[in-house]
């Protein structure tokens, strides 16, 4: 069964560094999402992406964040200058033309020190 | 704005007990979807069920059952004869969605279920 993959599974970075989280959505999917989960808290929506542009973004998704689909298969989340509070699990999700049917990747745990 | 409330932060039961996890939602849309996800200690999100707003039939899948009541805006989840492997955090989620537009999931705060021997 096709699945969403994310790399790396765990990333440790120093405060102020740029980090790129990578996702490979399911190949025929059209809608792409990033969610964040701070340890012990709920999963929060960050951004949705469709037709090579952002469809919606949350208040969390400020100018430090950006998303890109550089090559038609990868979907990336970049954090320009990481802060301690960016430490969280980041989940990528994708869906076909039924955007309510989202498939989640296993997550990338980001630790900012 | 959509909102999901899971009032139970943590529940502890002894194996073989039945347990119900509550979920109450708010939305202004008439078309929406409700979900339950399981998050084991390993951290991934495991999809359990999706329900659309037009289908109020209760669903049973093995030891799991779901009760959707539009009148009370609730979508409760019952595990019958709980097992230690059911120990996890369970999230209820809502999507206000129409086909053709991207749609975010709004999650509740989760209920941590601890099943002991």
Each residue of A36-95: pLDDT tens digit? 999 999 999 999 999 899 999 999 999 999 999 988 789 999 999 999 999 999 999 999
B102–chain A Cβ distance below 8 A for any pair? yes
pLDDT reported for residue B99: 57
Pairs across A and B, CB distance < 8 A: 64
Residue length of chain B:
117
pLDDT(B57) > 90: no
Mutation target for B interface from A50, A89, A92, A102: give the one with most B CBs within 10 A: A102
Q: Which chain B residues have a beta carbon less than 8 Å from that of A58?
A: 104
Least confident of B19-28, B55-64, B69-78: B55-64
Say whether B91 and A106 touch across the interface (CB within 8 A).
no
Instruction: Determine the 3-state secondary structure of B70 from DSSP.
Output: helix
Q: Which chain A residues have a beta carbon less than 8 Å from that of B110?
A: 42
pLDDT reported for residue B102: 77
Higher pLDDT, A71 or B97: A71
| Cis geometry, peptide bond prior to residue A73 (ω within 30 degrees of 0) | no
Q: Which residues of A26-62 are buried (b: 16+ CB within 10 A; e: fewer)?
A: beebbbbbbbbbeeeebbbbbbbbbeeeebbbbebbe
Question: CA B57 to CA B77: how far, in whole Å?
Answer: 13
pLDDT reported for residue A92: 98
List the one residue out of B17, B34, B38, B4 whose CA is nearest residue B112: B38
Average the pLDDT over B90-115 and give the result.
88
Mutation target for A interface from B103, B106, B109, B110: give the one with most A CBs within 10 A: B103
The mean of the pLDDT values for chain B is: 93
A25–chain B Cβ distance below 8 A for any pair? no
pLDDT reported for residue B97: 67
Q: For residue A70, what is the DSSP state?
A: -
Element (H, E) at A104: strand A103-104
Average the pLDDT over B9-35 and give the result.
95
What percentage of residues in chain B have a pLDDT greater than 90?
80
Average the pLDDT over B16-29 and give the result.
96
Higher pLDDT, A94 or B103: A94
Helix, strand, coil distribution of chain B in percent, nearest 5: 5, 50, 45
Out of B91, B101, B107, the one facing A99 most closely (by C-beta) is: B101
Say whether B43 and A42 touch across the interface (CB within 8 A).
no
pLDDT reported for residue B103: 85
Out of B99, B102, B107, the one facing A42 most closely (by C-beta) is: B107
**B39–chain A nearest CA distance, Å:** 11
């Amino acid at each position: 069964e096709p699945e969403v993959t994310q790399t790396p599974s765990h990333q440790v970075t120093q405060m102020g560094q740029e980090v790129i989280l990578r996702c490979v959505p399911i190949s025929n999917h059209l809608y792409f999402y990033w969610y964040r989960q701070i340890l012990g808290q709920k999963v929060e929506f960050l951004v949705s992406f469709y037709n090579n542009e952002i469809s919606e973004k949350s208040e969390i998704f400020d100018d430090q964040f950006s998303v890109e689909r550089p090559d038609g298969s990868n979907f990336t989340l970049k954090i320009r200058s990481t802060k301690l509070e960016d430490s969280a699990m980041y989940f990528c999700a994708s869906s076909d033309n039924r955007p309510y049917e989202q498939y989640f990747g296993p997550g990338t745990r980001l630790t900012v020190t | 704005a959509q909102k999901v409330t899971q009032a139970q932060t943590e529940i502890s039961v002894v194996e073989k007990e039945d347990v119900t996890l509550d979920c109450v939602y708010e939305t202004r849309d008439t078309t929406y979807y409700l979900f339950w996800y399981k998050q084991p200690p390993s951290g991934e999100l495991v999809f359990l069920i999706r329900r659309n707003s037009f289908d109020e039939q209760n669903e049973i899948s093995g030891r799991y059952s779901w009760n959707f009541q539009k009148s009370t805006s609730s979508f409760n989840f019952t595990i019958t004869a709980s097992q230690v492997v059911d120990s996890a955090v369970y999230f209820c989620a809502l999507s206000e969605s129409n086909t053709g537009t991207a749609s975010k999931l709004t999650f509740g705060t989760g209920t941590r279920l601890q099943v002991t021997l």
